[in-house]
Structure 1
């Protein structure tokens, strides 16, 4: 995998996170959604990093 492709995947990942968080209407669940998004983003970042090695 080249770095440009990895960068594009990361941009899409953060775009997904922002859109997901913005669509949360219930403020009570916002922290939970952010936490779950962060877990997903970290897992995907590790996957991308492994493919770069």
Structure 2
């Protein structure tokens, strides 16, 4: 099955510095839980790579 990736934006940097990060590379699971809670009706900012 595909991997979930998140488009990460960095405060203070231009949008061209945004990067896609695979879910397993994010060590703070609370960040993912909080993101999913805030966006539970929208999946536009994460991407499943099949």
Name the TM-score, length of structure 1 as normaliser.
0.30
Higher strand share: 2
Q: Which has the larger radius of gyration?
A: 1
Higher helix share: 1
